[in-house]
Chain A
Amino acid sequence: MILSLTCQQARAYVSDYINGVLDQELAYALEEHLQTCASCPPLYAGLIALRRRLHELPRTTPSSSIGLRIAQKVRQALSEE
């Protein structure tokens, strides 16, 4: 028998579900809830879109000049001490 979740419970579990780490029984219950609830599916769609967009963002890589700039700053700060 599939568990029945309230909206509050479903929203508490949805982040783990998106990460693929939710217990299987709870995952089924969450999927069942998403098929019958009016307010949770748009929230779920929003979370999925958010995660997809964040995955697409470029990872921050420092410019090659930063090493030199910070070395100069550190040298200046240490010589002032």
Chain B
Amino acid sequence: MHPFCPHLRLMSMNEENNVARRDQIISHLVSVPDGNDDAVLILAAMAGDMDAFARLVERHTERIYSLAIRLLGNTDEAEDATQEAFIRAYSHLAEFRNTAAFATWLYRIALNICRDQLRHRQTREHYAEMWRINHLWNNERYSVDPEQVALALEDRQMLNGALAQLPACYRATILLHDVDGLTMSEVATLTGVPLPTAKSRLRRARMALVTLLDESARKGDSAITEMNPVPSQSRILLEQGGAN
């Protein structure tokens, strides 16, 4: 509790550490430019100079957009989130105090917008699909054909299609870790969940993609089989009834 304003809750040491850690990760992800160059523009924008704010937007857009696309995985939504971040920053410019950390302040705003979008994008269908796949992997007789998975992986359309079927928070986790190379601790901080949750999302996202790619490739196989009846090489042990 704040000593003079009881309705204000002070940040605990742990929360402060989390904020500091998050800002450190953001700075690492995007090379934060020298804040001194921003100071004049910020003061002018605070006085109502729209041209000055437009120059700030141009200076920081690429970095904010990079962060948004990492988290959202979709160019249109990343662009909308970037735009929203600047509009929100402009509305709250009077609350901004430390000109040297403008970039980090802006990234925090963008991060919150992206997280909100991730939460809103979860659908029951996405989760039902994850549940179905999890159920498959819990069956010891379930397996896939790795050759089919490898073939599907070479088809960018199939890979994008499979990624699109993941709930947004799972997609963000696997893209940040397996494509962008962030550590799981960094992914957890950026997506705002504890490390074990981030690790569980990564595991499930990987499992889901393998299953979805195997299924996509087999659907492709069946279309070819109709035209050219060659026996399927599928090794789906679940269907064959043989397993460990």
**Do A and B form a real pair?**
yes
Contact B184 A19 (CB under 8 A): yes
| Given A7-B140, A46-B214, A50-B210, also A67-B62 (CB < 8 A) | yes
A46 to chain B, nearest CB (A): 4
User: Using a CB-CB cutoff of 8 Å, which residues 12-52 of chain A contact chain B?
Assistant: 12, 14-16, 18-19, 21, 36-40, 42-43, 45-47, 49-51
Contact B66 A61 (CB under 8 A): yes
User: Using a CB-CB cutoff of 8 Å, which residues 58-74 of chain A contact chain B?
Assistant: 59-62, 64, 66-71, 73-74
Please, which residues of chain A bring their CB within 8 A of the CB of B90?
74, 78
| Given A55-B178, A59-B179, also A70-B61 (CB < 8 A) | yes
Contact A38 B62 (CB under 8 A): no
Contact B144 A60 (CB under 8 A): no
Interface SS of A by simple majority: helix
Contact B140 A47 (CB under 8 A): no
Name which residue of chain A comes closest to B69, CB basis.
Answer: A60
User: Size of chain A's interface in residues, with CB distance under 8 A?
Assistant: 45
Give chain A's interface residues, CB within 8 Å of chain B: 6-8, 11-12, 14-16, 18-19, 21, 36-40, 42-43, 45-47, 49-51, 53-55, 57, 59-62, 64, 66-71, 73-75, 77-79
- A78 and B199 alpha carbons, distance in the complex (Å): 40
B92 to chain A, nearest CB (A): 13
| Given A7-B244, A67-B61, A70-B79, also A50-B206 (CB < 8 A) | yes
Partner of A49, one of B50, B66, B149: B149
Name which residue of chain B comes closest to A68, CB basis.
Answer: B58
Contact A66 B146 (CB under 8 A): no
Partner of B174, one of A39, A54, A67, A69: A54
Add 13 more A-B contacts to A42-B143, A74-B54 (CB < 8 A): A7-B244, A14-B203, A15-B202, A38-B243, A39-B243, A46-B213, A57-B179, A59-B179, A60-B66, A66-B62, A70-B82, A71-B58, A78-B53
| Given A40-B143, A54-B178, also A47-B210 (CB < 8 A) | yes
Please, which residues of chain B bring their CB within 8 A of the CB of A11?
137-138, 207
Contact B141 A39 (CB under 8 A): yes
- A53 and B146 alpha carbons, distance in the complex (Å): 13
